[in-house]
Amino acid sequence: MHLHILGICGTFMGGIAAIAREAGHRVSGSDAAAWPPMSTQLESLGIALQSGYAAEHLQPAPDVVVVGNVVTRGERFPAMEYALNQGLPYVSGPQWLAENVLRDRHVLAVAGTHGKTTTTSMLAWVLDHAGLEPGFLIGGVPANFGISARLGKSKYFVIEADEYDTAFFDKRSKFVHYRPRTAILNNLEYDHADIFENLAAIEKQFHHLIRTVPGEGRLVVNGGDANLGRVLGMGCWSSVTRFDHPEGWRAEPRPAIAPGAFEVFRAGESLGVATLAMPGAHNRANALAAIAAAEHVGVDPKVAMAALAGFKGIKRRLEVFGAARGVTVYDDFAHHPTAIAVTIAALRERAPGARILAVLEPRSNTMRLGTHKDELAHSLEGADRCHVYAPPSLKWDAVAALAPVGERLAVHAELPALVAAVVAEARPGDQVLVMSNGDFGGVHGLLLRALAA
């Protein structure tokens, strides 16, 4: 079968492309732009990429057009208009995945506002380490695998379960298509202001997910999240195990034993000490969720803990991009106030005593709209200096909104000025933490080159 994927370079659609190719299908795709790591991953698989969304990309007609949620109606997407006018078969990415890959498999889904990519990667690695050879689709590239998706050789499939909408013709959250038997609910906050009117609208979608988990299934839930507690209160028909909860799974840091060490408790009983290369309380919580979910498919917690000792992290999650003149530059995907705060705290744990220079691009749709602008200053409290990129396209006054940061703040309308300012004040031992959910104009490389010069 020939699939042509519109929006193929997104992490999710690129993962579908890789899985479809592995399953023996012919795959091609279109996108507005292609960038690593997804472009290089797809090209290495022999998948033809075409720039833009021209109608000619669908000539001759593929067997099915798989539509990413970046695609809308109108002149920006002539390929979609052509498909509709010609009556070509089309389907959303989540629906294609559900019907062609997830059917008859034990799906382990990871949902939540934060930590989905990391927790999904940890869980896939734990199952792989235990010999279960799972398939997976992850919104990032785990270093242990070097790829974001694979078909797998067993009945198990681990998937990052995104609450974002499915497609222009299906406004349900992606995760309602997956029908998991094991579901992790990491946390729940208001996000995606371009899609959801308020927190209650997101909670409703999360409850739709809960409704799809069978009675013999299991929900692994953050026990300290009041919003998730409210969602469970709407109705729950599966067993529930909680993490970050005194009566469930919890972690106690043990830095005296080793860097990244933490003791794992289940219902008050110590299961031993695990180690994790990724710092931060949020990552210990992610690890607990992965351990608890893996137990549901028969993986002994001690085996899971041993696997996590070898977990190498994910690209763009507090990833060292490079160093110059004694200054280390990190790349991180954080783009929500909570994620920004916990990422800074994690770096503080990794490099105690060092100065942290936070470099932030408020790039997500929610950030550009200013939905979280009043919370942003608080999220930057843990940084020693804060450089925020606020181009004219930003829809709110960054200087006014971030005034509580005080003298630690510098707001820049142009990227070269931001780079010059960071380089001028950076000194050996500093940790430069770059945070954006995009490529940030290649600022990481610009910083390193300027520092080296």
Give the model confidence (pLDDT) of 394-442 as tens digits: 888 888 888 888 889 888 999 999 999 999 999 999 999 998 988 888 8
Which residues on adjacent β-strands are paired with residue 29? 5, 49
Same domain for 18 and 61, yes or no, is: yes
Domain boundary among 60, 92, 124: 92
Q: Are residues 146 and 165 in the same domain?
A: yes
Whether the Cβ atoms of residue 267 and residue 248 lie closer than 8 Å to each other: yes
Q: Assign residue 385 the CATH number of its domain.
A: 3.90.190.20
359 contacts 434 by C-beta, under 8 angstroms: yes
Can you give the pLDDT at residue 353?
87
Whether 285 and 340 map to the same domain: the answer is no
Q: Coil, helix or strand for 441? A: helix
Pairing of strands 409-412, 327-332: unpaired
Give the span between the Cα atoms of 147 and 102, in whole angstroms. Answer: 19
Is residue 99 included in any domain, yes or no? no
Residue-range definition of the domain harbouring residue 351:
319-452
Structural domain includes residue 62: yes
Chain centroid, CA 376 distance in Å: 20
Domain count, the chain: 3
- What does the pLDDT read at residue 37? 64
Q: What's the distance, CA 127 to chain centroid?
A: 19
Q: Is pLDDT of 447 > 80?
A: yes
Give the separation between CA 20 and CA 25, rounded to whole angstroms: 6
Which single residue is written with the structure tokens 């690695």? 125
Reported as a single tens digit per residue, the pLDDT across 240-291 is: 999 988 889 999 999 888 888 999 999 999 999 999 988 788 889 999 999 9
Give the confidence band of 94 by pLDDT, cuts at 50, 70, 90.
Answer: very high
Per-residue pLDDT, averaged over 202-221, amounts to: 96
